[in-house]
Structure 1
């Protein structure tokens, strides 16, 4: 029995599909598939969906180049929902965000009850790296002629981005030698920012770096370096 034959589609012939980064576990988006979309996904190894608004099947990345490469497909105990683990090329969300789930809803800590978390509250939390990365990805998508420092770096290309990282790394080392804490903080912040630009260039979210650090956590640094050498 094929996968399509096992799935339970709704009265409109659709089934919800959740896509998840296969490496980091990050949930990227949710959309719908019909039998043809499932079949094309299996045949091509790239995720296809069904657009309810346009009433047609579509290949994710067909116009943007942000394809989703299938790594694994799962379905739930009722056979009426799909979980597709993928390698995301570029951004999953049409807004340019890495994930469609880039906003959160906080229960009423303040008067007025629940509220949508805004940029200011994001900056107050420890996910500032993700917030900055998302902004960098937005700037990357700006049209030609729109003014942005980040956009100018992308327009000048990889060598310019790498040059800025080298420059900021040198300034960080000089600040470290000087021993003035506030200067060290400022230079490290500049370095981190330009490293995020490099990650944005390759569409690598900070979570990929966090995952690698988690993998190394608890390992001897000498052993880990020796393993990489092999």
Structure 2
């Protein structure tokens, strides 16, 4: 039986908002297709294996972000995994930590640098439902279904030249409001942007957990991990997921 390894990165510090569920969704959807899928929890202080098939990171508070960034920079395993093209899925604080820098604890903190993005501060906390249409940027080219989640953040994430948004907003704040975007006014990529795509990294502000609310996105990660096209995966008919999406997007 084919085996799939899913890295749950730093759940002890980036597990505040239930984003550990993304790894559970990946494991279950893989097992439903006959794969022997296992989750490898990588805690603060543990080395990050560079040869897992998929990596997931969740959200957390300021202190947690600082600890996570310091560990991931010094360890280097996640960077090597990204350089090898292994899919990485990051949520909220995970998105910010993988960027060039972010604000936490009243100061600017160096990020891991896997995303050409910097996070400053929103004028007002973004909290509520968020939805977008996928841009099809980079490795997300096969996505066709709307994206849905719940945002709760104070970060204004600004994209550099090498990064592209995951989605174009139809609801919510997303990466930044006018206050944050004023630092780089005139860049159309910042307008109505949600999430970041760069290389093998897909990052977003969507909680939910995001992969429970966006099964096509979950399957895209599984397809990338196996080196196949999204269309090659056996479809899964799960009525409860269909109903959930209808409620959240309705």
Mark yes or no: TM-score above 0.5. Answer: no
Q: Give the structure with the larger strand fraction.
A: 2
Higher RCO (Cα < 8 Å, 6 or more apart): 2
Q: TM-score, normalised by structure 1?
A: 0.29
Q: Give the structure with the larger helix fraction.
A: 1
Is the radius of gyration larger for structure 1 or structure 2? 1
